Amino acid sequence: MCAATAMAIYGIEKVTPERAYEMGLLFFRNIGLVVTASGYYKYRKDRSEEDIDFVEVPLADLKDEIQAKNATSFRLYCENNSGELWDASFGFSTTDFGGFYHFDAQCVLPYFEKEKFIAFIEVLCESRELEYAIFYQVDDVSEGFYYAEGENLVSVYGYENPNSFSRETGGRFKGAERYRNKMLRMVYLVNVVNEGHLGLDVEGVILRDWILSDERHGTLNANASGMWIWEVEEKDLAYVNKILGESGVLISWKPSRPSKVSRFLP
């Protein structure tokens, strides 16, 4: 049973830090929680460039740092009383610190439902500021954070290779980023895809037609920006991932190993 839900949004190079800050505030308004802490990333002045600090500042000061071009990658938090992990967070990452362009957000249940994710995505789609996005379930918010960036060997499914996605990302990995329009990472409860994704070959037909051919494949709805929202029921995720994984369109698909046949001496 999942204890948190999360989102990752990729292909957001057009998004400015100022716009990202406003989207972070929108995320927290959508889920009905308050930002209690915020900060941005910077290299330490007295250490090598591999040492990165998270500079915690009040929300108003973060906005000032962004406008002054001092903050280009940052995070907003809703902390909890236990002091362990957090109830929700929203992050904006760029290539400035070896990462790659993406939004990530996580939230404990039950505040961040798929309807709220879709409402958030619709706003971002209005100005065509993304290429691919996913909404998924995890055991805790830290897993949601690490999964978005492909770190710490976190996987959502047992039939998933957690290393494969990180090698596709930009930044320090200089990956091909095929998830932007040539492949899918995996299939999730909600997948925001573009025309490139919908043209992928699945069992001899394009993905769009494959989705529409069977209700088990989910529902597909267009929005005004040219993006598509593909929803799949939780009970059908394993089936859908298997078909698409075997068709070679999933970056992180891990085929099941055949059972070894016992051999007995005569």
> pLDDT 10s digit of each residue in the chain, 266 long?
469 999 999 999 999 999 999 999 999 999 999 999 999 999 877 655 568 889 999 999 999 999 999 999 999 999 998 777 999 999 999 998 888 999 999 999 999 999 999 999 999 988 788 999 999 999 999 999 999 999 999 999 999 999 999 999 988 889 999 999 999 999 999 999 999 999 999 999 999 999 999 999 999 999 878 899 999 999 999 999 999 999 999 999 998 765 444 444 44
Structural domain of 217: 4-246
CB count within 10 Å of CB 29 equals 13
- The reply to whether 264 falls in a domain is no
Q: What is the DSSP string of 32-46?
A: T----EEEEEEE-TT
Can you give the pLDDT at residue 266?
42
pLDDT in tens, 163-218: 999 999 988 889 999 999 999 999 999 999 999 999 999 999 999 999 999 999 99
Cα–Cα distance, 110 to 144 (Å, whole number): 15
The secondary structure element, H or E, covering residue 24 is: helix 17-31
Can you give the pLDDT at residue 50?
61
The secondary structure element, H or E, covering residue 166 is: helix 162-168
Can you give the pLDDT at residue 261?
44
- The reply to whether 260 falls in a domain is no
- The reply to whether 263 falls in a domain is no
- The reply to whether 262 falls in a domain is no
- The reply to whether 197 falls in a domain is yes
pTM score, two decimals? 0.93
Give the three-state DSSP class for 65.
Answer: helix
- The reply to whether 252 falls in a domain is no
- The reply to whether 233 falls in a domain is yes
Cα–Cα distance, 54 to 42 (Å, whole number): 7
Query: Alpha carbon 262 to chain centroid distance?
Result: 42
- 156 within 8 A of 174, measured Cβ to Cβ: no
**Number of domains observed in the structure of the chain:** 1
- The reply to whether 24 falls in a domain is yes
